[in-house]
Structures are given as C-alpha cells and as structure tokens.
Structure 1
Amino acid sequence: MKENKIAFITCVNDETLYEKSLSYINKLQIPMGIEIEIIAIRNAKSMTSAYNEAIQKSDSKYKVYLHQDVYIQNNNFINQILNIFKDDANIGLIGMVGAKIIPVSGIWWDDPCKVGKVYDSHRGTMELLVFNEINDLYSEVKGIDGLIMITQYDLPWIEDIFDGWHFYDASQSVEFIKRGFNIVVPDQKFRGVFMIVEL
C-alpha cells in the first residue's frame, strides 16, 4: 500500500459524463510527493462489486469513490482531505453530506439533523443544498451519501446483500463504524473545502 498515493475510482456507464468528471479531477492541485491514480470500472453488475474490483487493482492508501456525474469544484481538494485524515488516524471515511443518525428508512436525507453542502441540479436547475451547519473543522456522522466517499483504509464492500445500485453508501458507513472508525463531513462555510457539483 502506497502511503503517498490517491486513487479516483468511478463506476462508468456514460463516457460523456465521465470525461467531464475527469476534466475536473485533472485540474486539481497535486501536493508535492503525491501520486494520482485513475480507475474506471465498466460493465459492473453492482456498485459494490465495482468498488471491490477497484480495491484489488489499486495500491493507493487513499481512495476517492465518486459518481461519474460528480464534478469537484475546489482545486485544493486533495490537500484538504489529506489534512483531515492526518489530523485524526481514526477517521476512516469522509463525505460531503451525511446523517447524524441513520433513519429507519436507511436513507440519510430522512435525518432532520443531516449536515453538509453540495451543489445539485436534480430539480433541473443548479442550486446549493445547505443542510445543518458545521461549527468545527468537521462533524462526525453515522452515514454519508454515495456521490463521493473518501477513505484512508480499505474495507470490503458488501456484495452479497447490496448487489444493485442503492444503499451501498449506508452499508459501507455501517462497516466503518463497526470497525471502530469515524465518519466525518467537513465544514465548508469558510474554505469551500470541497464544493461538489452533481448533475
């Protein structure tokens, strides 16, 4: 496992969307001594199987699992996620938006205490979705949205139960917590730590 390497991993079925996503990744500032790896998984039977395949292919310590229609806006993204991980070795997973509790539905956005910010156009126009504010560098949560999931430790994704395209994010969040790791959503109020656009 290479401590100075970060992989960007995407499950791809739309090359146009993916090329646009890659164009944003290619604009990111790369800290000195950090190596970048790009992994696209095509023809996957599920999100969990795709991500497990990527784990087998990659020797990167840090992994950014992102949807093919996610566009990273903050050029300093890499440096800032590495700083969060280095601040606390017990942080295993970072997301942009997440739930303080896992609702009975298993859907993170049903939590009234959800936190984070993300640009989104699911209603047809681009808008900044702002949930409860974070007053520290980051807020600990119980689950994050799968649009982007950033890890510094490899845990297997549960394929036998989550064999489709939904709930893999909640499942993986639970796995990290079961192993004793923390999950966090960073504050974006002043720094715009990530600023993601999802179409």
Structure 2
Amino acid sequence: MISVIICSANAEDLLLVKKNIAETIGVAHEIVAIDNRKAGKGICEVYNEGTQKAAYDLLCFMHEDVQIRTHEWGKTVLNIFSDDADTGVLGVAGGGYKSLAPSGWYQFEFHSEERSYQNVLQGFKLDEKDEIHAYHNPKNEHLSNVVCVDGLWFCTRKRIALKYPFDARTLQGFHGYDLDFCLSVFQEYKVIVTYDILMKHASEGNFNKLWFDEILKLHRKWSKVLPLTTSDVSDREFYFTEKRCLKKAIEQMLRWDYSFYQIHRMIMNAAKSRVRTKLYFKAYLHLLQLKLNIIPLPPKS
C-alpha cells in the first residue's frame, strides 16, 4: 500500500496524473494531493504536510506533470523496499557523485560512466526539442546505488520521512528539496535507482538563478560532508573533479551577476571540506583572472 503525495499547481494536470496512477499502480493506494495554487507554500512544507496526512507506510512523492508508463509499478516498489530493510530512497534518475561545488544531482564534470543512472522519458517545455529516452545503466544492474535522486518521482518509508523531514526552514521554494532529503537519508540508508519503472516527465526543469540561489543554501548546509560518491574515487580524482566543478560554478555566477563577495562566500564555504587546500587557491585564481579579463569568460555550454 502506497501513499502518493503531490504538490499541485494545476488542476488539469492533477486530474490526468490521478487517472494515470489509478490505471498503472496495481496496488492499494491513496493520493494525497495538496492544492498549493493559492497558498503558495514551498514544496518542503507541502511534502511535510503530505507525510503527516499519509495513511500508508510507503510514500511516493511525485510531480503532477509525470505520466507513468509501467503497469503495476506499485508492486515493484513494494518488493524493493520489502527485500532490503536498508533501502531508504528509491528513484528513477540519480547521480553517483555529489560535488562540493554547487550543482544539481547530475555531475557532468565527474569523468566517469558512474556519474548518472536513469531510465526516464524526458520531454521539453522550455526548449523546442524532441522527447528523449534518457537510459543510462553503466553497470547493467536492476538497482544502482546513488547519492541523490531527481525529485520528479521518488519513494521512501514514512518513518524515514518523519525522521528526516524536508527542510522547510532552509529551502522555502521549489528547488533543492530532493538533494537535501537524499543527503539526510544517505547518512543511514541506501539511496537507489530502479530501471524497472518507466515514466515520462513533461518538463526539463528551469535551472536559472532562482534555482542556483537555493542550491547555494543547500551547499552551505552540507559542505562539511561533501563531496560524496558511491564510486571508488581517489583523492586525485576528487581534486580534479572539484576543480572543474568550482570553475564552472564561478563562471555561472559571473554570468548571473553575482557579486565578488557572493562568489568569495561560495569558495570559502567549499573550503570547509576535506578536499586539498590547493583547490581553493586555484578557484580564487580562476575568479581573479576572469574578473580582471586576463582570460575570457567561456560561452555558456
């Protein structure tokens, strides 16, 4: 039995996703849909409210612009959690490396096949692109261990969501909640990705300055434990991965007109971690070279 929790902003989308869930889940369930159109609460507050209202022991948090294509997916969820008591979070897309530098769950700068694990049909609303099937299973597994999952759809146990509630004090908008929740749960339980449930996500997400503001808050909270990975990574690889990640973060902050102080604060926050001190001198050098026009700001990739 599964409680499906949805933060709703569109009544038509909600009707469609309710119908889709009823037709595909294949197990007893309830839908805890919280209408957030007028209240305008942050998603952490809404998800905590949904957790409190949920009647069942397994919770599924999902966006309302998702259409699940796999029939009887609820049985798959129940089996995964019943087979391993250490499973804490289950998603369909996730990253095997979470950087110290501000970022989302996918770490392109981690030069390893293990940087991402996913099976999602991705649609696009903001760009005129065709739908793609994002399938990446580098180890050819049924389940893959990751650090964080994408918030489009993920499941957990109610007792875990009560023990590690969504951080509505730090994150008051609609970004970063999935990473923060996974980083909390990762301390004690497994965070995993399944390839046996396929769904379409209608939107690619808007990774803009508002998103980055929330990611900076997230990283101020977690910098002392980052970077994290499920891969076998040497100190040398940590260093060069984070060097690439910090450079990218600095460049993006300059494009979005963050002040020198704000970028300085980001670098100093990263300095709390276990990565070699040399990294921060390299980051400052890169910032100064860009600010003084010694090197050009690379075009946005």
Shorter-chain TM-score tier: 0.7 to 0.9
Deviation at 1:136, TM superposition (A): 2.3
CA–CA separation in structure 2 for the residues paired with 1:144 and 1:165: 15
Deviations 1:14-40 (A, max 9, x none): 111121111210112534xxx311111
Contact 1:108-1:143 within 8 A present in 2 as well: yes
Give, in whole Å, the separation in 2 of the partners of 1:133 and 1:29: 27
Look at both structures and tell me which one has the larger radius of gyration over its CA atoms.
Answer: 2
Structure with the higher fraction of residues in helix conformation: 2
Q: Which residue of 1 aligns with 2:106?
A: 109
* Structure with greater strand percent: 1
> Is 1:127–2:132 an aligned residue pair?
yes
Structure with larger RCO (C-alpha < 8 A, sep 6+): 1
Indicate the SS of the match to 1:165. Answer: coil
Equivalent residues of 1:106, 1:167 under 8 A apart: no
Equivalenced residues, count: 186
Query: Which of 7, 12, 16 pairs up with 2:12?
Result: 16
Structure 1: how far apart are the matches of 2:89 and 2:96?
Answer: 14
Q: Name which of structure 1's ranges 98-107 and 163-172 shifts more when overlaid on structure 2.
A: 98-107
Equivalent position amino acid for 2:105 in 1: W
Residue 36 of structure 1 is matched in structure 2 by: 29
Aligned 8 A contact 2:122 2:132 in 1: yes
Using the TM superposition, give the Cα deviation of residue 116 of structure 1 relative to its aligned residue in structure 2, in angstroms. 1.1
**Partner in structure 2 of residue 162 of structure 1:** 171
73-82 vs 103-112, which deviates more? 103-112
Query: Partner residue of 1:136?
Result: 141
User: Does the 8 A contact of 1:94 with 1:149 survive in 2?
Assistant: yes
Moved more, 162-171 or 37-46: 37-46
Runs of 4 or more, structure 1, over 4 Å off, are none
Q: Measure how far apart 1:59 and its partner are.
A: 2.3
Check conservation: 1:120, 1:198, Cα contact below 8 A.
yes
SS of the residue corresponding to residue 109 of structure 1 reads: coil
**Structure 1: runs of 5 or more not aligned:** none
How does 1:1-199 map onto structure 2 within 5 Å? 5-31=1-27, 35-43=28-36, 44-103=40-99, 104-111=101-108, 112=110, 113-122=115-124, 123=127, 124-152=129-157, 153-154=160-161, 155-178=164-187, 180-186=188-194, 188=195, 193-199=196-202
Q: Aligned equivalents of 1:69 and 1:53: distance in 2?
A: 20
Q: What amino acid is the match of 2:116? A: K
Kept in 1, the 8 Å contact 2:97–2:107? The answer is: no
The CA deviation at 1:109 is 1.7
Alignment partners' CA distance in 2, 1:102 and 1:9: 26
Once the two structures are superposed, residues 96-151 of structure 1 have per-residue CA deviations (whole angstroms, 9 ceiling, x without a partner) of: 10010112223112244111110011244222012343422201000000000101
Which SS does the other structure have where 1:16 is aligned?
helix
Q: Using the alignment, how far apart are the partners of 2:93 and 2:2 within structure 1?
A: 21
What percentage of aligned pairs have identical amino acids? 24
RMSD: 1.5
Kindly tell me: are residues 27 and 96 of structure 1, through their superposed partners in 2, closer, same or farther at Cα, counting changes over 3 Å?
same
